[in-house]
């Protein structure tokens, strides 16, 4: 067989040839912007030319600090097409983390949304390798600000050589992108993606067993384009010719739902907290939506959330699992055809698992050196390998702790049932070890979120003088609903062994979230680690 390289530029060229009239809709600070794939293609080409004129060469890193919009999408293709490396930067990092990753990645040019420039101005002096800041949008005065040298994106595109030619064929294993993932302790870790990995990951998104993404879809990545390639959706959607909808700066649940309804989005993707927000909006101000798949991942989707979307709103809700290190999609929870006959509660339980391995990957769930039995009970760490799984962190000693003997050690503890469905029990560090026995914080959270009065819930392990660790729950109630601590603990007692039930439950207005919308357990742990001891001593307890 021919050894044609698998390159991002091939996805782009195919899409330009076959789908020039398809539409890209992008919400920006100046209103909704619409254009065709053909216009997108011309601008993408000009962006490559403009970057080359700024001195970017194959292998150089180009950072983006931007929301999900059409200019970010142009960068998604322009940078890899020219052989350079697209480094998407999380806009919610601290100044220290930002300067660390821009320097560590050796970013040469940064593409920055005008309304995010303020994140870089205090650290400009530390970004010694950055030679140019290219600003998306904003007025001319922003170019005279402290971020220098600064260029207007639109001006650069206008002046760029439209006949710029791309470098000769690249090696498919060469880097095309990178993204940093936050570590539990220490500095963020850089994951580098290859053309081959992203090509195959995009192809996997089109499989009927996964997202079945196709030309007939209207795809809206809600998941930020600065996080794990927005789950690879921009690459797959453009390749296959889908209409693309990009929700722009800081979209609220109302804005998202309006876009879903008005643009007739068929597939949207986000973390559970996003889907919880949209559900609330759907219930207070219903809109007609045409979603064929609400894709939810990044954190466990509570069964109650799946049920609410499907039973009340007839929106198919699909749970998937992945990591920055896995490009990211690795597991997809869709029933096998013969499982459709199972009773609803059994189907729901299965669909709330993280699901089956995506074709193309390999997995093991191990306890020490031994693989666990596929009995839905024995727990072990999930290991993955395959063409879109990273094999190390960029220039980082910590690689050796995670990439061992050719396998990525995910740090996620899971069981596998007889059919191969993987159920995450917890992150290794989130499992609660009470008197030597494991308690799954994820199971408790899912159960709490099934209570009709509960909006959000999370559970952490905190120190206990006798049992070493005990679960502590945090709950946000739905607006206008009430439930007492005792109601909720009794609700759990009906479903779990007594020793699983949290020692206490704290009501909050909001659970702190990570930069990508997951529950920020670390900050709760810091604040509440000695809560039970203090309660025992009857000392002051934080609000």
Binding site for ligand AMP (CB under 6 A): 181, 228, 297-300, 319, 321-324, 328, 354, 410, 412, 424, 427
How many Cα neighbours within 13 Å face the side chain of 462? 25
311, 433, 493, 499: which is the annotated catalytic residue?
433
Per-position b or e across 509-521, b if 16+ CB within 10 A of its CB: eebebbbbbbbeb
64, 88, 181, 410: which is the annotated catalytic residue?
181
Annotation says 266 is catalytic = no
Strands 293-296 and 267-270 come out as parallel
Nearest distance from C-beta of residue 509 to ligand AMP, angstroms: 24
First to last CA, the chain: 65
Q: Which is nearer to ligand AMP, 416 or 424 (CB)?
A: 424
> Is residue 168 a contact partner of residue 5, using CB atoms and an 8 Å limit?
no
345, 438, 493, 499: which is the annotated catalytic residue?
438
Nearest distance from C-beta of residue 386 to ligand AMP, angstroms: 16
263, 325, 381, 469: which is the annotated catalytic residue?
325
Give the Cα separation of 107 and 128 in Å (integer). 10
Nearest distance from C-beta of residue 249 to ligand AMP, angstroms: 21
Nearest distance from C-beta of residue 227 to ligand AMP, angstroms: 7
Nearest distance from C-beta of residue 121 to ligand AMP, angstroms: 27
> Is residue 37 a contact partner of residue 22, using CB atoms and an 8 Å limit?
yes
Which residues 6+ apart lie within 8 Å of 35 measured at CB? 23, 24, 70
From 320, 293, 306, 274, select the one nearest 518 (Cα to Cα).
274
Q: Which is nearer to ligand AMP, 50 or 306 (CB)?
A: 306
DSSP character string of 387-449? TTS--S-TT-TTHHHHEETTEEEEEEEEEE-TT--EEEEEETTT-EEETTEEE-HHHHHHHHT
Nearest distance from C-beta of residue 430 to ligand AMP, angstroms: 8
> Is residue 338 a contact partner of residue 383, using CB atoms and an 8 Å limit?
no
From 188, 140, 167, select the one nearest 7 (Cα to Cα).
167
Nearest distance from C-beta of residue 319 to ligand AMP, angstroms: 6
> Is residue 190 a contact partner of residue 393, using CB atoms and an 8 Å limit?
yes
Give the Cα separation of 543 and 474 in Å (integer). 12
Nearest distance from C-beta of residue 422 to ligand AMP, angstroms: 10
Q: Which is nearer to ligand AMP, 117 or 318 (CB)?
A: 318
Position closest to ligand AMP via CB: 324
Q: Which is nearer to ligand AMP, 251 or 302 (CB)?
A: 302
> Is residue 453 a contact partner of residue 383, using CB atoms and an 8 Å limit?
no
Residue 217 CA: distances (Å) to CA of 222, 242, 454:
15, 5, 33
> Is residue 461 a contact partner of residue 433, using CB atoms and an 8 Å limit?
yes
Orientation angle between helical segments 195-205 and 8-18, nearest 10 degrees:
50
Q: Which is nearer to ligand AMP, 160 or 320 (CB)?
A: 320
Per-position b or e across 129-149, b if 16+ CB within 10 A of its CB: ebebbbbbbbeeebbebebee
Q: Which is nearer to ligand AMP, 259 or 389 (CB)?
A: 389
Query: Exposed/middle/buried for 180, CB within 10 Å: 0-12, 13-18, 19+?
Result: buried
How many Cα neighbours within 13 Å face the side chain of 150? 22
Q: Which is nearer to ligand AMP, 131 or 417 (CB)?
A: 417
Annotation says 433 is catalytic = yes
Give the Cα separation of 209 and 333 in Å (integer). 9
Nearest distance from C-beta of residue 518 to ligand AMP, angstroms: 7
DSSP character string of 279-341? HHHHHHS------SEEEE-SSPPPHHHHHIIIIIH---EEEEEE-GGGSSEEEEE---GGGGG
Q: Which is nearer to ligand AMP, 156 or 361 (CB)?
A: 361
Is the peptide bond between 361 and the residue preceding it cis, with omega within 30 degrees of 0? no
Nearest distance from C-beta of residue 327 to ligand AMP, angstroms: 10
Q: Which is nearer to ligand AMP, 263 or 412 (CB)?
A: 412
Q: Which is nearer to ligand AMP, 83 or 297 (CB)?
A: 297
Active site residues: 181, 325, 433, 438
């Amino acid at each position: 067989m021919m050894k044609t390289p698998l390159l991002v530029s091939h996805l782009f060229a195919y899409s330009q040839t076959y789908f020039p009239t398809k539409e890209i809709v992008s919400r920006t600070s100046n209103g909704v912007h619409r254009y065709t794939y053909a216009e997108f293609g011309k601008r993408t080409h000009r962006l490559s030319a403009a970057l080359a004129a700024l001195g970017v060469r194959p292998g150089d890193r180009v950072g983006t600090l931007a929301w999900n919009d059409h200019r970010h999408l142009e960068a998604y293709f322009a940078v890899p097409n020219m052989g350079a490396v697209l480094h998407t930067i999380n806009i919610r990092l601290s100044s220290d983390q930002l300067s660390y990753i821009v320097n560590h990645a050796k970013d040469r040019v940064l593409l920055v949304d005008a309304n995010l420039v303020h994140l870089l101005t205090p650290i400009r002096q530390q970004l010694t390798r950055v030679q140019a800041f290219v600003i998306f949008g904003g007025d001319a005065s922003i170019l005279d600000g402290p971020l220098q040298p600064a260029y207007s994106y639109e001006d650069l595109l206008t002046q760029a050589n439209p006949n710029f030619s791309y470098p000769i064929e690249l090696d498919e294993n060469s880097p095309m992108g990178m993204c940093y993932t936050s570590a539990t302790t220490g500095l963020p870790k850089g994951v580098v993606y290859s053309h081959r990995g992203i090509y195959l990951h995009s192809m996997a998104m089109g499989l009927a067993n996964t997202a079945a993404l196709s030309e007939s879809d209207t795809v809206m990545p809600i998941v930020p384009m600065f996080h794990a390639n927005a789950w690879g959706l921009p690459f797959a959607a453009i390749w296959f010719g889908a209409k693309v909808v990009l929700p722009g700066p800081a979209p609220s649940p109302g804005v998202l739902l309006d876009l879903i309804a008005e643009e007739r989005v068929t597939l949207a993707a986000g973390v559970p907290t996003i889907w919880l927000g949209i559900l609330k909006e759907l219930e207070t101000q219903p809109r007609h939506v045409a979603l064929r798949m609400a894709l939810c991942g990044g954190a466990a989707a509570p069964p109650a959330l799946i049920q609410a979307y499907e039973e009340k709103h007839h929106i198919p809700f699909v749970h998937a699992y992945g990591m920055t290190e896995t490009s990211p999609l690795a597991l997809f929870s869709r029933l096998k055809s013969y499982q459709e006959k199972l009773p609803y509660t059994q189907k729901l339980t299965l669909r709330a698992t993280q699901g089956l391995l995506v074709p193309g990957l390999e997995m093991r769930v191990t306890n020490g050196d031994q693989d666990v039995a596929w009995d839905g009970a024995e727990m072990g760490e999930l290991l993955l390998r395959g063409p879109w799984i990273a094999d190390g962190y960029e220039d980082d000693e910590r690689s050796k702790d995670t990439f061992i003997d050719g396998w990525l050690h995910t740090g996620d503890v899971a069981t596998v049932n007889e059919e191969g469905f993987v159920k995450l029990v917890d992150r290794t560090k989130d499992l609660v070890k009470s008197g030597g026995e494991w308690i799954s914080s994820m199971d408790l959270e899912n159960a709490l979120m099934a209570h009709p009065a509960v909006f959000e819930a999370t559970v952490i392990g905190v120190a206990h003088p006798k049992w070493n660790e005990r679960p502590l729950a945090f709950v946000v109630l739905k607006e206008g609903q009430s439930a007492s601590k005792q109601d909720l603990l009794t609700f759990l007692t009906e479903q779990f062994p007594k020793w699983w039930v949290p020692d206490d439950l704290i009501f909050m207005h909001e659970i702190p979230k990570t930069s990508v919308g997951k529950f920020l357990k670390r900050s709760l742990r810091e604040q509440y680690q000695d809560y039970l001891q203090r309660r025992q001593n009857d000392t002051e307890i934080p609000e």
